[in-house]
A and B are shown apart, each in its own frame.
Chain A
Amino acid sequence: GAVVSQHPSWVICKSGTSVKIECRSLDFQATTMFWYRQFPKQSLMLMATSNEGSKATYEQGVEKDKFLINHASLTLSTLTVTSAHPEDSSFYICSARDWTSGSVYEQFFGPGTRLTVL
């Protein structure tokens, strides 16, 4: 099946610094990628939808200037958490849709990135 990777798998950073997380579709092209955030014992919450070559669409309550998303190619989307604070510590998960898939609902999820901000 289709594989989505994320890098890094975990990261620890100091408050005020920026962190970039990569999401790659390894064996398919993804016109659309999604970024989720999951706090401990809570639901995955969609943060934004990333379309290749265009600006991301952010969910209500998600600061687009704080969570910068770039989807410059059909296999790579990046999420940059700018000026990170301890409350940004969370598990960030991406998913990607295979544009050749006949199923509009098929999304492939990455393994997630654990971010800890000290």
Chain B
Amino acid sequence: KQEVTQIPAALSVPEGENLVLNCSFTDSAIYNLQWFRQDPGKGLTSLLLIQSSQREQTSGRLNASLDKSSGRSTLYIAASQPGDSATYLCAVRMDSSYKLIFGSGTRLLVRP
């Protein structure tokens, strides 16, 4: 059974810092991996999707990497801003279906 773990559970950093969020999964036979952002009172927003054949994806200040063989992904946020404060969720798909298996998230606070 696939399990997705995110470390740390919470993180507080001063504005401007570069930071890394970690995601690990027990079954390396994933189809793809997706990073989401969850804001209170709002739905999840998809940030980046990495196919199993890819090593990384970039969008603006965000860079997600995937090391499928070791069961790890990282989300790198450059020059963090208070608006980046949210819960970041990592989720994997095991096949081409829509089904997502989520980690429990990292709550990020960027202090002004």
What residues make up the interface of A, taking CB atoms closer than 8 Å to B? 4, 9, 32, 34, 41-46, 49, 93, 95, 97, 104-112
From B43, B45, B46, B98, residue with most partner A Cβ within 10 Å: B43
Q: For chain B, which range describes its interface: under 10, 10 to 19, 20 to 34, or 35 or more residues?
A: 20 to 34
Given known contacts A43-B4, A105-B34, A105-B49, A93 and B103 CB-to-CB distance under 8 angstroms: no
- Measured between beta carbons, the chain A residues less than 8 angstroms from B101 are 43
Q: Is the interface of B mostly helix, strand, loop or mixed?
A: strand
Residues of chain B at the chain A interface (Cβ within 8 Å): 4, 9, 32, 34, 36, 41-46, 49, 89, 91, 93, 96, 98-105
Min Cβ gap A6→B in Å is: 8
Does B93 contact A43, Cβ atoms closer than 8 Å? no
Task: Contacts A49-B98, A97-B98, A104-B96 given; indicate if A43 touches B103 (C-beta within 8 A).
Answer: yes
The smallest beta-carbon distance between B99 and chain A, in angstroms, is 6
Taking CB atoms, residues of chain B closer than 8 Å to A45 are 102
Q: Is the CB of A41 within 8 A of B98?
A: no
**Within the assembled complex, what's the spacing in Å between the Cα atoms of A29 and B46?**
19
